[in-house]
């Protein structure tokens, strides 16, 4: 949904963009991981994603960033559809490996339940 922009920014997201344009917005702290704030064109430096963003992907082993579109394509080709919605999905999953260290630790940069928030 995020890659295809199936989900759309809401009136609240657009209001933040309006505030930015008027010089009234200093920073947005959000717990949302969907990245809808950016559909409005809001400056990335103004948004703090407390729980990360699914639009940013990297290896948890070596830190290598992976382009979001590349990751989405790998998910479509390598991850089994457990809900049987996508007839083109593979019947068996295979690991998504890091192009740098070859470890299967590539995932969106989000804080999962039970994990600590980043120190930054």
Residues of the chain above pLDDT 90, percent: 70
Using 50, 70 and 90 to split pLDDT, how confident is the model at 25?
very high
Residues 57, 67 contacting (CB under 8 angstroms): yes
Residues 72, 1 contacting (CB under 8 angstroms): no
Both tokens of 15, joined, read: 């209001």
Give residue 120's pLDDT.
62
Q: Which of 14, 25, 51, 76 is catalytic?
A: 51
Q: How many CA atoms lie within 13 A of 12 on its CB side?
A: 4
pLDDT tens, residue by residue, 55-109 = 889 999 999 999 999 999 999 999 999 999 999 999 999 999 999 999 999 999 9
What is the C-alpha to C-alpha distance for residues 53 and 86, in angstroms, rounded to an integer?
A: 24
Which has the closest alpha carbon to 65: 31, 101, 30?
A: 101
Residues 2, 49 contacting (CB under 8 angstroms): no
What is the C-alpha to C-alpha distance for residues 16 and 37, in angstroms, rounded to an integer?
A: 8
94 Cβ neighbours under 8 A, 6+ residues apart: 78
The answer to whether residue 51 is catalytic is: yes
State the DSSP code for 39. G
């Amino acid at each position: 949904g995020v890659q295809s922009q199936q989900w759309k920014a809401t009136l609240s997201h657009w209001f933040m963009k309006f505030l930015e344009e008027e010089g009234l917005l200093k920073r947005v702290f959000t717990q949302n991981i969907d990245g809808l704030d950016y559909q409005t064109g809001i400056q990335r430096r103004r948004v703090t994603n407390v729980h990360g963003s699914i639009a940013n992907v990297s290896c948890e082993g070596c830190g290598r960033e992976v382009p979001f579109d590349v990751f989405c394509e790998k998910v479509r080709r390598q991850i089994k559809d457990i809900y049987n919605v996508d007839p083109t999905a593979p019947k068996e999953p295979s690991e998504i490996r890091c192009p740098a260290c070859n470890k299967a630790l590539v995932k969106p940069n989000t804080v999962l339940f039970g994990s600590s928030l980043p120190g930054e």
